[in-house]
Amino acid sequence: MNKPLLATLFILIAAPTWAKQPVATGYGGAVATISDPASQAAMRILNAGGNAIDAAVAAAATLGVTDPFSCGVGGGGFMLIYSAKDKKVITIDSRETAPAYFSPQVFQKNGKEMEWDDAVPTGISVGIPGTVRGWHEALSRYGSMDLARVLQPAIAVAETGFKVSPNFYRINQLNEAKFARFSSTSALYLQDGKALPIGSTFRNPDLAATYRSLGKGGVKAFYEGPLAAQIVQTVNTPPVVNGVSVLTGQMTLNDLKDYEARLRQPIHSTYRGLDLYGMAMPSSGGIAIAEALNILEGFDLKSMPRDQVEHLYLEAARLAFADRNAYVADGEYTDVPKSGLLSKAYASERAKLIDLKQTHGKVAAGDPFLYQDDPSHPLRPKAALATEPAHTTHLTVSDKQGNIVAYTFTIEDWGGSGIVVPGKGFLLNNEMTDFEFSSPHPNVPEAGKRPRSSMSPTLAFKNGKPVFSIGSPGGSTIITTVLQTIVNHIDQGMPLGEALAAPRLSQRNGDKTEVETLLKFVGSPQAKALEQYGHQWQEKDEIGAANGLQFNPDGSTTAVSEPLRHGGGSAIVQRK
Ligand code: GLU
């Protein structure tokens, strides 16, 4: 038997399984994801000698099987890698990109913006998927195993299948109408037009075969050849059921062939002695989190009661969001005032707008251009806030060498465009609806451009040593989830697990602050205390199932996932 095959058998059979838990502390490598099979896949790769990058791709591929409505090879994402050897943070941008036919009018009909819901389940919403190219870049530059090897655990899960959980069912059911439009999607995820029942076994042999072909043919097997042709055909002629017609895309084989993942400089900022690294444009996450923290840094939060800290957190998020909505987009297409938005002097100006006792209500964007390295800037775009839903997944892995990965990836809406590539077992994204639908705005659709994102994988260091990693799904609530978790952890002294499990409050410069029914926030003493500041609530079921790692002073690592959200996540450490 050849060596790789032997190794694979070891990974799949001889390895132990771990009981699912949301928090685990130990030594060596650690992983936290929202899916137990995905965390197990990462741990098997670590135990077989892989590094954090290998294990992260293994977990991501498995999430593509177990959480297919949030992520997969039909989408894109952002990966932060800390390379222990190079003492350096690298970011890989595998964001979906607009095909060459795109123009600022692509989401308009008779000169008017299309409804967001109408734009999603169409061929137009599908951007060129970046995930496979991202995995390729990560593995070939920083990994130690090849794609074929790290895909093995995911292939096993896709073939063996798993029991449909209440959470899988909940999301599938919410998408019944969208999925029913497409024959390939109904065939995979519906049974007589209804979501697969809880407890039934879901297998995805088509996805297993797709993963096998990627293992064999590498990145080219996705971006060139028969699979590429099939993706193009699916986007341009979606497999609709009788009686349904949808807008079709005009993607080309060259769009796929020319797709590039970008290695970008991370956003670097500081907060109370920590060095924070976040995702740069086209994500707005790194910049918005840094701006909000810069605003908060001017307040002595440690001396304040919890309700006042949370009031200030909400107001800082509001101010940062006003700027993010107005100015941040793909930096290759628009002059984003990045240095102004990140400047501490600008943050102190913004902080002056905060009333310690009363919410400000909606605020206007500021003028970061005055704080730019080069302040002679012509562009003052309008602020706008298109619909931004809340899905996606985040995972994080570390290894015994000290490498760390924080990776958020997505197909945008739950179920993406709703279009499964026939016979291939994966859904195509609707990431193009993250663009604004009308100009002038920096985030309008343009050929080759990447839509603004909120995904915020984040790494924190103190004196050059890792302190924590954090990230979340949840559309634009990702930014507030990561920000609030940092404030809970750093300013309120909560261990990372507690900081992440606490009720989320998401203020994105709206009239009301979003909170969760799952955590029964409304009516709680915490809610009542904040109502004294004038805050009002808007409930949704839950906000962002986050995952993180805390690197403890004694050399151990605590992996933290969700106790409740998204059905609960899975944290595993290599050695107790
Ligand atoms: N499209 C979103 C973004 O890039 C992620 C999807 C979501 O979380 O809803 O920010």
pLDDT at 374: 59
Q: Which of 96, 455, 543 to probe ligand 1 with, by most ligand atoms within 8 A of CB?
A: 455
Task: State the distance from the centre of ligand 1 to the C-alpha of 413, rounded, in angstroms.
Answer: 7
Q: What is the position in ligand 1's atom list of the atom closest to the CA of 474?
A: 8
Q: What is the position in ligand 1's atom list of the atom closest to the CA of 431?
A: 1
Pinpoint the alpha helices (H) of 298-410.
306-327, 338-341, 344-351
Three-state SS at 89? strand
**Gap between the Cα atoms of 475 and 71, Å rounded:** 13
**Amino acid of residue 549:** L
Task: State the pTM of this model.
Answer: 0.95
Element housing 65 (H / E) = helix 52-66
Task: State the distance from the centre of ligand 1 to the C-alpha of 388, rounded, in angstroms.
Answer: 7
**Gap between the Cα atoms of 219 and 489, Å rounded:** 39
**Gap between the Cα atoms of 348 and 291, Å rounded:** 10
Q: What is the position in ligand 1's atom list of the atom closest to the CA of 473?
A: 8
**Gap between the Cα atoms of 573 and 85, Å rounded:** 22
Is 367 annotated to bind ligand?
Answer: no
| CB neighbour list of residue 242: distance below 8 Å, 6 or more residues apart | none
Asked whether the predicted pLDDT for residue 230 surpasses 60, the reply is yes
Alpha carbon nearest to ligand 1 atom 2, residue: 475
DSSP string over 211-271: HHHHHHHTTHHHHSSHHHHHHHHHHHS--BPTT---------HHHHHT---EEEPPEEEEE
Is 475 annotated to bind ligand?
Answer: yes
Q: What percent of the chain has pLDDT over 90?
A: 92
Q: Which of 489, 486, 510, 487 is nearest to 498 (CA)?
A: 489
Alpha carbon nearest to ligand 1 atom 6, residue: 412
**Gap between the Cα atoms of 345 and 563, Å rounded:** 39
| CB neighbour list of residue 172: distance below 8 Å, 6 or more residues apart | 69, 164, 179, 189, 190, 195, 196
Element housing 54 (H / E) = helix 52-66
**Gap between the Cα atoms of 507 and 297, Å rounded:** 18
Going 536 to 542 to 547 to 551, the CA torsion angle's sign is: positive
Task: State the distance from the centre of ligand 1 to the C-alpha of 401, rounded, in angstroms.
Answer: 31
pLDDT, tens only, 469-481: 999 999 999 999 9
pLDDT at 445: 97
Task: State the distance from the centre of ligand 1 to the C-alpha of 190, rounded, in angstroms.
Answer: 24
CA separation, residue 341 to residues 162, 269, 293, 294 (Å): 46, 11, 12, 10
Measured N-to-C along each axis, helices 152-160 and 205-217 cross at an angle, to the nearest 10 degrees, of 160
Distance of CA 239 to the CA centre of its chain: 28
Alpha carbon nearest to ligand 1 atom 1, residue: 412
Asked whether the predicted pLDDT for residue 373 surpasses 90, the reply is no
Mean pLDDT of the chain: 94
pLDDT at 440: 87
The catalytically annotated residue of 91, 210, 334, 392 is 392
pLDDT, tens only, 378-415: 444 444 444 555 678 999 999 999 999 999 999 999 99
Task: State the distance from the centre of ligand 1 to the C-alpha of 407, rounded, in angstroms.
Answer: 13
pLDDT, tens only, 60-92: 999 999 999 999 999 999 999 999 999 999 999
Alpha carbon nearest to ligand 1 atom 7, residue: 475
Q: Which of 95, 385, 388, 395 to probe ligand 1 with, by most ligand atoms within 8 A of CB?
A: 388
pLDDT at 11: 47
Alpha carbon nearest to ligand 1 atom 4, residue: 453
- Looking at residues 372-381, what average pLDDT do you find? 56
**Gap between the Cα atoms of 11 and 328, Å rounded:** 43
pLDDT confidence of 151, banded at 50, 70, 90?
Answer: very high
pLDDT at 17: 62
Distance of CA 171 to the CA centre of its chain: 17
pLDDT, tens only, 177-206: 999 999 999 999 999 999 999 999 999 999
Q: Which of 515, 409, 416 is nearest to 472 (CA)?
A: 409
**Backbone Cα Rg of the chain:** 22
Is 123 annotated to bind ligand?
Answer: no
Asked whether the predicted pLDDT for residue 12 surpasses 90, the reply is no
Asked whether the predicted pLDDT for residue 546 surpasses 90, the reply is yes
Which residues does a 6 A CB cutoff place in the pocket of ligand 1?
Answer: 389-392, 410, 412, 431, 434, 453-455, 473-475
Tokens for 526, please give them: 């915490």
> 């297993």: which residue's tokens?
208
Alpha carbon nearest to ligand 1 atom 3, residue: 453
Task: State the distance from the centre of ligand 1 to the C-alpha of 64, rounded, in angstroms.
Answer: 16
**Gap between the Cα atoms of 208 and 565, Å rounded:** 28
pLDDT at 382: 47
33 labelled catalytic = no
Q: What is the position in ligand 1's atom list of the atom closest to the CA of 478?
A: 8
Spatial contact of 313 and 479, defined as CB atoms under 8 Å apart: no
- CA triplet 409, 451, 458: central angle to 5 degrees? 45
- Looking at residues 494-500, what average pLDDT do you find? 98
**Gap between the Cα atoms of 431 and 434, Å rounded:** 6
The neighbour count for residue 531, using CB atoms within 10 Å, is 13
- Looking at residues 409-436, what average pLDDT do you find? 97
Q: What is the position in ligand 1's atom list of the atom closest to the CA of 284?
A: 10
Is 94 annotated to bind ligand?
Answer: no
